[in-house]
Amino acid sequence: MTAVRFAATLLPLALAANLATAEELKFSSAAPPTSPWANQINRNAVEVDAATKGAVKLVPYFNSQLGGENDVIAQISRGRIDMGSFTLNSVALQVPEVSLLNLPFFFESQQQRDCVLDKHAMAPTAEALAKKGLQFVMWGEVGSIHLPGKKAYANPADVKGIKVGVVTNKMTTEFWQAMGANPVPTNVAEVSSSMQTGLIDTYPTPYAFYMPSGLNKIAPFMTKFPLWESVGVTLINKGIYDKMAPEVRTAFDAGFAKNPSPKLRAEIRGVDAALTKAHLAAGGTVVEATDEQRAAWSKGLEPVWQAIAKDMGAAGEKYYAMMVAGKQACPAK
């Protein structure tokens, strides 16, 4: 028997040996249980269970049952919660510079942004997260970010003075301040109630959250841009990941690899188009920003991007330089 074939026979045996100590990992998500993100997480749970032969089982908790994203990420860093999927803006509370990937109007196309994520940003992001006790698992997809409200916000002047619900970090705060709006820290689980009571006027969001959460009934106008393509990240506590037996860790990674990032992106983008039609069919209003309106939003933003990166210190400036180089290397189409 060759060494390769011998090793191949050992893997199932090693995984089977771990069944006696099967590890259940609490998996946190702010996603509504009926959302496409929840479907993706449930599917990953099945794949990880199969790949590890039951040695690792993901137990999803949706609708922020374990707490708001900001708090849960800190708990994962400390090892008090196992893992989860998050918006990049929440992850930025641990590693501020990663929020730069969501700079409004920075990328020229979805294809260019995807290329930068996969070929340029993954390694520096994983390295920065590891220093915070967080193991990068994979990129997710939040979706194209638009502006819902009780009226349209197609022009930059429309947002001056309004209250914009945000996941608080330097990027979101400084961008909306630069646009003349008032950023208001808002927990994802409280978006609908905050909109209903007037605490916020809008909450930049993708359709995949807008419809399943019921926000479309409170804020029936959806202004489509997109402002940016929002990145998602799946993380696990690094200590938990590192303590897995090597063969289990390999199988764990293989389970997630069954549904790679390009597949997740395609699914969410398909949902965006389908839910736009569903919103219209339900009597909602969709206002498509024109090329001229988008140009007005993006005009003069480069100094704002640079200022945001500089305000994050050396790490921010280095990360921004990586993004600029990646953007130059990746075609827009």
pLDDT digits (tens, 9 = 90+) for 90-101: 899 899 999 999
What CATH number does residue 100 fall under? 3.40.190.170
Position 320, amino acid: Y
Q: Which residues contact 317 (CB under 8 A, 6 or more apart)?
A: 309, 310
Q: What's the CA angle centered on 93, arms 227 and 219, to 5 degrees?
A: 40
In which band, very low, low, confident or very high, does the pLDDT at 331 lie, cut at 50, 70 and 90? very high
Segment 79-95 mean pLDDT: 93
Q: At what angle do helices 36-51 and 246-257 cross, to 10 degrees?
A: 140
Q: What is the predicted pLDDT for the residue at 262?
A: 96
In which band, very low, low, confident or very high, does the pLDDT at 133 lie, cut at 50, 70 and 90? very high
- Find, among 326, 273, 317, the residue nearest to 112 by Cα: 326
Question: Token pair of 280, please?
Answer: 């219209």
Average pLDDT, the chain: 91
For residue 89, give its domain range: 3-329
Over the Cα atoms of the chain, what is R_g?
21
In whole angstroms, what is the distance from residue 222 CA to residue 210 CA? 9
How many domains does the chain divide into? Answer: 1
Residue 257 reports pLDDT greater than 50: yes
